[in-house]
Amino acid sequence: MQEPTFLILTALAAAPLHGYGIVQSVLGLSEGEVKLRPGTLYGALDRLAEQGLVEVEREEAVEGRLRRYYRLTDQGAAALSTEVRRLRRRATAAETQLNDRHGIVPGLGTA
């Protein structure tokens, strides 16, 4: 799973959000490192909806414009959970390798 997809699913894990809310949530979750452009976001949301990972929860008109709220499906929550476990295993493997490197890990201290 690519990082933007992971972050979009993570943004929707707690509650439904509209597009701008997703962009802001992803920006916060990534500590400013991932800035989704509208074309990228809506392309990803369409793909995730086709895969059954997200769905439109509701639509509302705001100042004459349609605002769609997306929510994580149960299948999306399962996919996110699987990815969290996979990333945790990879991070643990990386820490182990770093600890084996002279017993000192920058930022983690001594082993």
Number of Cβ within a 10 Å radius of residue 41: 18
Write the pLDDT tens digit of every residue in 13-29.
999 999 999 999 999 99
Are 60 and 46 in contact, with CB atoms under 8 Å apart? no
- Domain of residue 10: give its range: 3-100
**What is the predicted pLDDT for the residue at 99?**
82
Asked if the structure places residue 96 within a domain, the reply is yes
What is the total count of domains within the chain?
1
Q: Is residue 79 part of a domain?
A: yes
Asked whether residue 107 carries a pLDDT value surpassing 70, the answer given is: no
Tens-digit pLDDT profile for residues 26-54: 999 999 999 999 899 999 999 999 999 99
Let me know if residue 21 belongs to a domain: yes
Q: Does any domain span residue 29?
A: yes
- Whether 94 is covered by a domain: the verdict is yes
d(CA 62, CA 60): 6
State pTM to two decimals.
0.85
CATH number assigned to the domain comprising residue 23: 1.10.10.10
Q: Are 70 and 16 in contact (CB under 8 A)?
A: yes
105 within a domain of the structure (yes/no): no
53 in Cβ contact with 76 (< 8 Å): yes
Asked whether the predicted pLDDT for residue 75 surpasses 70, the reply is: yes
Q: Is the pLDDT of residue 105 over 60?
A: no
DSSP lists the bridge partners of residue 105 as 109
Q: Are strands 65-72 and 54-62 parallel, antiparallel or unpaired?
A: antiparallel
d(CA 39, CA 4): 13
